[in-house]
Amino acid sequence: MTKVIGLTGGIGSGKTTIANYFASLGVPVYIADDGAKRVMQSALIIDQVKNTFGRDIFDGEVLNRAKLAQIVFNDKEQLAKLNAIVHPAVKQDFELWVQEYKSFDYVIYEAAILFESGRYKECDVIITVTAPEEVRIERVIQRDKTTREQVLSRMKMQWNDEKRISKSNFVINNDNLKIAKEEVVKILKILNIKQNQS
């Protein structure tokens, strides 16, 4: 039975970089954000988003992600509405994806809101990626060409590191990528030992 490793971390922690490193070592990785982008192209989901948030967030038939982000990242109720549409579809997408990799001992499910969405309950192992808050803020400002205020408002919508760590099996500090990669290798060794013992 393929085990699911949940990989999470706050915005700017570098969890996608860590996910990509796992992938380079041969572990199949599912990026929940990419899954969400895929499912949001389906007619059914587009209709639900239109009915919930209005046509204003569409440029013709194309979803304007910036407009949608502005709505949901400033209002927890609106974010909950979006998640109620997208999460079940992503879950289904992931389950189909796992079937393709059922010959593997492990697959990784990478999601920023693994805990907030409740999906952590479906994971066998959970890894949280951390980095100092200032480092995270700077990374996101550079990556998304956004403002400090916008980054902080998105951080407020997520669990803090302390809360995430309390529910995790492993923690990778991604302040220094070389050391973080060494942690990945250590974790895989531990998981392989446990796999061989079970």
Domains and CATH numbers, the chain: 1-28+106-198 (3.40.50.300), 34-100 (3.40.50.300)
Q: Annotation-wise, does 16 bind a ligand?
A: yes
Q: Annotation-wise, does 14 bind a ligand?
A: yes
Q: Annotation-wise, does 12 bind a ligand?
A: yes
Q: Annotation-wise, does 128 bind a ligand?
A: no
Question: What is the pLDDT averaged over residues 40-62?
Answer: 91
Residue 60 has pLDDT above 80, yes or no: yes
Instruction: List the strands of the sheet with 106-110, edge to edge.
Output: 29-31, 106-110, 3-9, 125-130, 170-173
CA–CA dist 112, 126 (Å, integer): 12
Predicted local confidence at residue 195, as pLDDT: 66
Q: 192: which 2 tokens? A: 């392989």
Question: What is the pLDDT averaged over residues 157-168?
Answer: 95
- Give the type of residue at 188: L
Residue 154 has pLDDT above 80, yes or no: yes
Give Cα separations from 34 to 86, 112, 123 (angstroms).
12, 12, 19
Q: Annotation-wise, does 60 bind a ligand?
A: no
154 CB-contact burial (10 Å; exposed 0-12 / middle 13-18 / buried 19+): buried
pTM: 0.90
Q: Annotation-wise, does 146 bind a ligand?
A: no
Predicted local confidence at residue 62, as pLDDT: 87
CA–chain centroid gap for 101, Å, is: 19
Predicted local confidence at residue 26, as pLDDT: 95
